[in-house]
Amino acid sequence: MEAKAMVKYVRMSSRKVNVVNDLIRGKKVADAFAVLKHTPKAASAVLEKLLKSAVANAENNFNMNIDKLYISEAYATQGPTLKRFMARAMGRGVRILKRTSHITLVVKEK
């Protein structure tokens, strides 16, 4: 039995999110909350909120025990990229890519 939570179109690169995902993958939920709380990355706030959602899904939809939950899967895939231009010297323009990501967390019971 597994419970899943997803968030889409997060205005953050999937590479930056996966750095934090690697820290929590395979850990118990309580340990993951502690790691996310003390990680100084922008993705940790988004992942903490997403983990709360996954735990709530497990508890309410599947009647799982919160104390036995662990993070079985945590990954971020690339979403659509916003393309912008910034003015530069001598009439030129430089393309700016504002990347987005889709983040998925799956929790299972041990």
Successive 10-residue mean pLDDT values, the chain, 110 residues:
95 96 94 95 95 95 93 96 97 97 95
Q: What is the pLDDT of residue 1?
A: 87
- Please choose, from the candidates 75, 29, 24, the residue with its C-alpha nearest in 3D space to the C-alpha of residue 52: 29
- Please choose, from the candidates 60, 59, 53, 44, the residue with its C-alpha nearest in 3D space to the C-alpha of residue 10: 44
Domains, in order of start, for the chain: 2-109 (3.90.470.10)
- pTM of the prediction? 0.89
Backbone angles phi, psi at 80, to 5 degrees: -70, 150
| b/e per residue 61-91 (b: at least 16 CB within 10 A) | eeebeeeebbbbebbbeebeeeeeeeeeeee
Cβ–Cβ < 8 Å for 16, 42: yes
Q: What is the pLDDT of residue 64?
A: 92
Task: Name the CA radius of gyration of the chain, rounded.
Answer: 17
